[in-house]
Structure 1
Amino acid sequence: MTESLPNPKDKLLDAALPHVPFDGWAEATFTAAIEDAGIDAAVARALCPRGAVDLAVAYHKRGDTLMLDWLKTADLTEMKFRDRITAALRKRLELVEDRELVRRGTTLFALPQHAPDGAKLIWGTADAIWTALGDTSDDVNWYTKRATLSGVYSATVLYWLGDNSADQVATWAFLDRRINDVMQIEKLKAQVRESPTLSRLMAGPNWLLGQIKAPSRFSRSDYPGSWTPPRP
């Protein structure tokens, strides 16, 4: 039985990683990666039309894949749901072998021309976590869950990049506080739903939000969601 050949894009990414802390996700890194990986330049450009930017995207997605692999084998059944989310986010950061790779990526995706890529990647991480943990929402909650978790993840990454505490204990405490803040919001939403007076006041907005549907698993690559018009 023959072994499968290594993915050339993975090979290119692996070759780029040692250069990123010094040159960033830049053209110099991409050029060095082509040479170190021994890949034809034309093939490399076909795989990554935007050069190191595409490698930075691939690096982030690789981290998501590793996190999902861990979630498939981790036993989280005894954890509260909030703790499962916390564990997933923490593992996502613990899997990073060099914080400078993320720091350089944060700088890259802060640039206006690459900001949409950065936002899409963060959303993708949040979506991966919710989906892996069994989220079945198909209405506006599909969006609010991912938007909220995207905010938590983004804030935690920035805190983590500047954290010099032993074993990043300050980061994990920060993450726990952010998750607690989210839980307070969820409690407030539940109180609104359970209050007859507030429910009547929110009847119109709730109806409007109820028309928003999550994208199906077949259409997510095409558009972020859909609007269900009221029936005549």
Structure 2
Amino acid sequence: MDTAHASAAPDYADMTLDELRIALAPEIAASAIFDGWNETALVTAAEMAGADPDILRLAFPRKPGTGQAMDMIDAWIASVDLAMEEAWPPERLAELKIRERIRTLVAFRLEAVAPIDEGVRRAMAIMAMPQNAARSLKLGWRSADIMWRLAGDVATDYNHYTKRAILAGIYSATLAVFVNDDSEGKADTHAFLERRIDDVMKFEKFKHQLTSRDYELPSLTRFLGRLRYPSR
């Protein structure tokens, strides 16, 4: 018996329910490939990980409609967020240009879910249901916010919101391409991502040029003053 491996195994019994949700979310996502995002996936995930299924049911209690499924998807997305933060801390990203920081983070997320693309497809179908729209937007915003913070964004004005809304849209659109991409190594998805990031960088450049030219624009107050008190 490999004692080093055994000692490294997580002790699910000592975890809080919040910790258990995140810890077992990847196993649930893997089970969702075959079983869907439901209680069957919960039980399968618990058995695969050596956890108590009853405790996992407490972590993800049954809810009306797709509430339980959304809880599982929420925890799974949070686990991807956490893995991304651990793999790409700000100090590591600081070596890259801003464009590469964003591309790297989105690419990391795609690589993280590549083995379970069918589970991703099933999750997106649930998230697209009208009753889940508001929560899905919130989850997309949360991931986009983490990516921008890792990339070093400190904006607090309207840019804070526009950047996150745009990135959430890019990531969502890229995932939609990803789950239907049969190209070698998901090449079409990565090409799509590059084009979308190009669009964002062009927009940011245009916005910077526009705002930096503000000082060149005529002052409306000065202009009206001249109309009222013309120079002699």
TM-score (norm 2): 0.74
Percent of counterpart pairs with the same letter?
A: 35
Give runs of ≥4 in structure 1 deviating > 4 Å: 31-38, 196-203
Q: Residue in 1 aligned with 2:108?
A: 91
- The CA deviation at 1:31 is 5.1
Residue 120 of structure 2 is aligned to residue 102 of structure 1: yes
Q: Residue in 2 aligned with 1:72?
A: 89
Residue 161 of structure 2 is aligned to residue 156 of structure 1: no
SS at match of 2:78: helix
RMSD, aligned α-carbons: 2.9
Q: Residue in 2 aligned with 1:22?
A: 34
- The CA deviation at 1:47 is 1.6
- The CA deviation at 1:62 is 0.6
TM-score (norm 1): 0.74
Structure 1 pair 185–69 and aligned structure 2 pair: CA distance change class (3 A): same
1:216-231 superposed matches below 5 A: none
Q: Is there any run of 5+ residues in structure 2 with no aligned partner, and where?
A: 1-6, 222-232
Match 1:39 to one of 49, 52, 72:
52
- The CA deviation at 1:124 is 1.0
In structure 2, distance between residues paired with 1:72 and 1:31:
34
Report how many aligned residue pairs link the two structures. 201
Does structure 1 conserve the Cα–Cα contact (< 8 Å) formed by 2:42 and 2:57?
Answer: no
Residue 11 of structure 2 is aligned to residue 5 of structure 1: yes
- The CA deviation at 1:195 is 3.1
SS at match of 2:88: helix
2:198 counterpart letter in structure 1: N
Higher helix share: 2
In structure 2, distance between residues paired with 1:170 and 1:76:
25
1:83 counterpart letter in structure 2: E
Q: Which structure carries more relative contact order (alpha carbon 8 Å, separation 6+)?
A: 2
Does structure 2 conserve the Cα–Cα contact (< 8 Å) formed by 1:26 and 1:53?
Answer: no
In structure 2, distance between residues paired with 1:185 and 1:30:
43
Deviates more, 1:53-62 or 1:27-36: 27-36
Q: Residue in 1 aligned with 2:186?
A: 168
1:185 counterpart letter in structure 2: F
